[in-house]
Structure 1
Amino acid sequence: MEEHFSIDTRLGIPIPDLKKEWDEYSKYTQQAILLYWEKVRGKIPDRITDLEEVINQKQAQLSDESDFARSCQLNSEIADLASIINDLWLWYRSNQEMAGKMHN
């Protein structure tokens, strides 16, 4: 199924990368894609938890940081991680509809 997904290095998960319209795939391939996606999708909350832990560590560093430049860098890193979390939630929620097709 990897041929229907590509690794998003920023998000740290494979995301759908379909080369054809959904209806052009056989029912068997559709089911296989949906099953694979459901496995990936199930790992998204764990990925988010891991990123939240990193944010918490960086926030702890930030609270003890007196160097302005380093504080700015930490804030930027925290914002980047928060953006990744937001995008992961979007993938998780927007693709519930895709996962719902699996059960029809």
Structure 2
Amino acid sequence: MKYEFVYDERLGIGLPVLHDAWEALTEAERAELLHEWERVRGRIPDRIMQLEKTIVEKQNRLNTEDDFPTSCRLNTEIAELASCITDLHLWFRADQDVSVKGHY
């Protein structure tokens, strides 16, 4: 197989991994890869909404948290979730062809 989609635990989606150069793929393989990427890409907005909901829940907990170490942990978790959202936005906005060729 010249490519595959590997599930990224952090982002919660499958990301394309090329095992050969983009140019080594046939037109049919490129089309298949891009079709699969569009399917994955279409789920990104829902994934972002899930992460945003989790951030709001953690922020609500943080607003009432009196324990400093717990507050620090919640802040760290919120920052990591926000970082995931940023990365998902980048993947969503990347041109299909360029994102597959340029990232790997």
Question: With structure 1 as the length reference, what TM-score do the two structures score?
Answer: 0.87
1:98 Cα offset (Å) = 2.1
Per-residue CA deviations over 1:33-71 (Å, capped at 9, x if unaligned) read 000000000100110000000000000000011111111
SS of 1:20's partner is: coil
5+ unaligned residues in a row in structure 2: which ranges?
Answer: 99-104
* RMSD of aligned Cα (Å): 1.6
Number of matched pairs: 97
Equivalent-residue separation in structure 1 for 2:96 and 2:40 (angstroms): 15
Residue number in structure 2 paired with 1:43:
43
Which protein has the bigger helix share? 1
Q: Letter of the 1:35 partner, please give it.
A: H
For 2:51, give the aligned amino acid: L
Identical amino acids, percent of aligned pairs: 47
Structure 2: distance between partners of 1:48 and 1:41: 11
1:69 alignment partner in structure 2? 69
What residue ranges of structure 1 are gaps of 5+ in the alignment?
100-104
Which residue identity does 1:37 align to in structure 2?
W
* Residue 91 of structure 2: aligned partner: 91
Question: What is the TM-score normalised by the length of structure 2?
Answer: 0.87
